[in-house]
Structure 1
């Protein structure tokens, strides 16, 4: 239920209360999702709203990790009196004594947008005003020290984000996308169709000589086993790269398993769908490549992928799996295949579009202002390192050696 939304008087100064009254917008903070479910599900129907802010996705993370919630709801006064203008699904993460309000499950999200009504989008050309940002900060007092909204594109598929007016720092990681054009061949021409087809034929020939392969989209009774296989394959890759395994924690694995069941019957929404390449003949039944896709409307995101380097590496099974997934999704009416955040060579080879994302930072308490300054500094430092190929390569090699291996680490992390 609302914790602070209508509190006035002693909870805020007379000036702050007057600002709330004059702004045409009422801000409330909810500590649970359930009271907002109906309006939340209505807002998420917007095709450009990220899957990561959908109700089911957020519920899976919130109910697994049990972090305190601070769901921001803005509603209209005046002409649209009482109607929901926006929802920002936030949770409170405490690290090093600082309470950060972040999008739910943000550390495993590839893109975040928030949820906005058509009325708000139509009347707020410049996004959240300074007064509305101040209202949010006022309502968050006592709950968080700062609000950090990570991986927000300020412009997404031709729409300026209503969050773009919040002070921002460019995230060190960019995201990469392949738009689907009218014909599959036309789509491939964006990324050198001749070279792509030649590589596909080469990969197929190698595997057929070894007995063949099949492209698998996991059935309900196969999904959990395939996700567990991904965890095992990725753990090997992280260890070889000398990097921490971001999927190792029990709650993270539990939340991802829960997402497997969240989908609709029309294939327009799938929180997590497991795809794989399975070998025949010489390596009968073995799986050298796994990928997990999410779909909301016409937007498909590859959330994560893994390979078994001991199996047919000469056939580049991970690349082959991407071809098969992209070709199928093109025929199924998707409009955008999103490789997610993180700059790797295979993404650039597929993607003509590179999307810059930002971290939006809104201080709330005094210590939050100090933490916000530090947050910007850390992000700037990471971006500077990644912009310097020699320095970044040196750090990656150093981390790999510290992990007991000389294997390259670039594909293993997003940070």
Structure 2
């Protein structure tokens, strides 16, 4: 046993089965015990208990994290904080090495937003993690990471202040956009100009009805994978036209998303990923004009990604029509919030009265980590300034499009 500064007790723990089933380097500061785990399985029961919190992000749920961990196989540094022997919080982190710096980030953070971490009701009632407690977290991570970056964390989410607010924060360049559901569908629409919305819906419907009609498809289990593959193809075309890198192109990402399709609640509406589409009838029978993937946890529904095929009926704005159909159905099913995700796009603003600012939280651990944190702040602030200047951002988007010899489509942006 070795006693370090600030009364942190470090205890070496011998690994058990498979050398991945026990925590390493437990830390004790006051009555808060910090442990780092390098596998998920030992924490499953308490992890699933904490995620029952309605405001805990789907992206920190056990079933969301498993496919990322098993597919990418990055080293893990899952933080468990406990008080009086009871789990107070879990922060599911993975280690990413880049340019000589080891970063601890939320698992699968590249494809997630509205991240919260997992906290017990008792801990939430006691307030935020203190700076001293976060120093204990940093001490536990020493040797495993140089810098912890918790991306896309709203400092306040649906009326609750984040327990992570003691960390150094920089505003993320991308905001998230939401449509709250009110008592009736009409009341919900009135938040975003119901008359205009209904007029547009009728116009879109008339165009498609004249060509034979359309239907809203929710993929059956044996249809999900084919529809996801169709999304990849549609999105690749859109990214190429926009001169943007295809964030869905790599095999590991596609593998994870296919695996997430298999994780749906057998009772109720919750699903890690569910495919929806607008399918045409008549003249263009079977053509999928728009595709979207939704996740649901409790009353919170997130549109994880969406695509359109502009080769047919582009004049009907099929993507907008699919959003109408999904939102209308979800309101009937008792959802409380439809989340369009991150990225400032015109169609999101037309639907959403709520804009959520997110922050990247930084916890330097080593000397290299302090330098990396300073660079991260500067880069993020530069991106925020560029995106805040619409003329400059549009100019840079046009430059990117020209490099790929294609026009940039409206309302398409990269999450950077």
- Asked if TM exceeds 0.5, the reply is yes
| Corresponding residue of 2:8 | 16
TM-score by length of 2: 0.94
**1:154, 1:358 within 8 Å by CA — same for their partners in 2?**
yes
SS state of the match for residue 360, structure 1?
A: strand
Q: Does 1:39 align with 2:46?
A: yes
Q: Deviations over 1:222-259 (max 9, x none)?
A: 00000000000000000000111000000000000000
| Corresponding residue of 1:407 | 408
Q: Does 1:84 align with 2:87?
A: yes
Give, in angstroms, the shift of residue 408 of structure 1.
Answer: 3.5
Give, in angstroms, the shift of residue 403 of structure 1.
Answer: 1.2
TM-score by length of 1: 0.95
Q: Which structure 2 segments of 5+ residues have no match?
A: 11-26
Give, in angstroms, the shift of residue 122 of structure 1.
Answer: 1.1
Q: 1:21 to 1:226 in 2, by over 3 A?
A: closer
Give, in angstroms, the shift of residue 405 of structure 1.
Answer: 1.1
| Corresponding residue of 1:280 | 281
Give, in angstroms, the shift of residue 407 of structure 1.
Answer: 2.2
Q: CA RMSD in A?
A: 1.2
| Corresponding residue of 1:120 | 123
Aligned to 2:76, which of 69, 73, 84? 69
| Corresponding residue of 1:175 | 176
Q: Does 1:94 align with 2:107?
A: no
**Partners of 1:14 and 1:290 in 2: how far apart?**
54
Give, in angstroms, the shift of residue 220 of structure 1.
Answer: 0.4
Give, in angstroms, the shift of residue 267 of structure 1.
Answer: 3.0
| Corresponding residue of 2:201 | 200
**1:72, 1:87 within 8 Å by CA — same for their partners in 2?**
yes
Q: Deviations over 1:54-106 (max 9, x none)?
A: 00100011111000000000000xxxx10000000000011111100000000
SS state of the match for residue 266, structure 1?
A: coil
**Partners of 2:6 and 2:172 in 1: how far apart?**
37
Q: Deviations over 1:283-314 (max 9, x none)?
A: 01111100000000000000000000111001
Q: 1:410 to 1:279 in 2, by over 3 A?
A: closer
Which aligned pairs between 1:101-140 and structure 2 lie closer than 5 A? Answer: 101-123=104-126, 125=127, 127-140=128-141
**2:217, 2:276 within 8 Å by CA — same for their partners in 1?**
yes
**Partners of 1:166 and 1:143 in 2: how far apart?**
19
Q: Does 1:148 align with 2:149?
A: yes
| Corresponding residue of 1:4 | none
**Partners of 1:206 and 1:380 in 2: how far apart?**
44
| Corresponding residue of 2:13 | none
**Partners of 1:22 and 1:192 in 2: how far apart?**
53
SS state of the match for residue 164, structure 1?
A: coil
**Partners of 2:290 and 2:30 in 1: how far apart?**
53
**Partners of 1:267 and 1:227 in 2: how far apart?**
22
SS state of the match for residue 173, structure 1?
A: coil
Q: 1:26 to 1:185 in 2, by over 3 A?
A: same
**Partners of 1:282 and 1:58 in 2: how far apart?**
42
**1:242, 1:409 within 8 Å by CA — same for their partners in 2?**
no
**1:397, 1:409 within 8 Å by CA — same for their partners in 2?**
no
Q: Does 1:245 align with 2:254?
A: no
